[in-house]
Structures are given as C-alpha cells and as structure tokens.
C-alpha cells in the first residue's frame, strides 16, 4: 500500500477558515511573533473567520488530492514560543489546506507592486508565495488579507 508524500518543514503556520499560511524565515526572524499578532487581531469586517494557530516551529505537510494539508506535529500541537514568556499553549486548528507561503524579508525586499506571481514548491505542488517584512505594524493585516484571497 502506497502512502501519500509527506514532509516536515521548519516554520510557523496559521489558519484562516480552512486555509493555511506557512511562515518561513531564519530562527529569530519573527515567524512566531507575526503569527501571534495575526491570532490576536480582531476579525476583519469582510472576512468571516479569525486567524488561528496551526503550528509553530515545525509544520507537517501531506499531499492530498493535488493539494497540501498542513498540520502540527502531535508533540507540539497548540504550543507557540512567545519571546519573553516561553512556550504558551493556545487553541489551535488541527489541519488546513496550505494556500500561501510567506517569506519574511527586510522592508526593502518587499515588492511595492508584485507584478510577477511567485510560488514555493512542496511535495511537487506549487503554492503562492508572498514576501513580508514581519515587524511592520500592518504585516498581520497584510497576511490575513493575502490568506483570505489565496
């Protein structure tokens, strides 16, 4: 019996409804902080759901019917590192379809008008890619808007 392809990646993931965003960046680049700010945001008026934690530090990816399902490793489900507080337990979503990959970059590396669509490839499946500067005050809103549109 053949098993679907899987991969565990370094990153943090949030969910918005049934869609997930995988946030990538070097250690200490702001992945968990950006996720925490997204989760803490109130619901935007035109988006029917709020962001939820999916996974922090490691994200399990599973190819499923031409899409990718993202989920937390069982040992760290619901856990997020909050700098200055340590590991905190939050409500979390068990799984969501990977709809967006977010690379954390410096503000100068964020395209003002991203005219060319870019993507990341996991398990042979292309996923739209967004570049964000994690510590701009508008970054959580940008991420939620992009995930809603993905």
Name which of 143, 146, 98, 148 is nearest 123 in CA terms.
Answer: 98
| pLDDT tens digits, one per residue of 56-113 | 999 999 999 999 999 999 999 999 999 999 999 999 999 999 999 999 999 888 888 7
79 assigned to active site: no
Task: Tally the domains of the chain.
Answer: 1
Given 24, 31, 92, 93, the catalytic residue? 31
Is residue 57 annotated as part of the catalytic site, yes or no?
yes
- Residue 106, domain CATH: 3.40.50.300
Boundaries of domain holding 72: 6-149
Asked whether residue 1 is assigned to any structural domain, the reply reads no
Residue of 50, 57, 64, 131 marked catalytic: 57
Q: Is residue 50 annotated as a catalytic residue, yes or no?
A: no
Query: How many whole angstroms separate alpha carbon 130 and alpha carbon 99?
Result: 11
Instruction: Assess if residue 14 is contained within a domain.
Output: yes
Instruction: State the pTM of this model.
Output: 0.95
129 within some domain: yes
Would 107 be classed as within a structural domain? yes
pLDDT (tens digit, 9 = 90+) per residue, 9-66?
999 999 999 999 999 999 989 999 999 999 999 988 899 899 999 999 999 999 999 9
């Amino acid at each position: 019996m053949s098993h679907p392809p899987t991969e565990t990646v370094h990153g943090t993931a949030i969910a918005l409804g049934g869609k997930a965003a995988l946030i990538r960046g070097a250690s200490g680049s702001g992945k968990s902080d950006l996720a925490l700010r997204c989760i803490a945001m109130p619901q935007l008026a035109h988006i029917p759901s709020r962001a939820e934690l999916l996974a922090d530090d490691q994200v399990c990816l599973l190819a499923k019917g031409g899409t990718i399902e993202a989920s937390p490793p069982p040992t760290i489900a619901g856990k997020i590192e909050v700098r200055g507080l340590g590991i905190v337990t939050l409500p979390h979503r068990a799984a969501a379809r990977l709809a967006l990959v977010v690379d954390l970059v410096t503000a100068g590396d964020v395209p003002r008008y991203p005219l060319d669509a870019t993507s990341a490839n996991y398990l042979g499946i292309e996923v739209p890619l967004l570049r964000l500067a994690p510590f701009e005050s508008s970054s959580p809103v940008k991420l939620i808007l992009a995930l809603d549109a993905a």
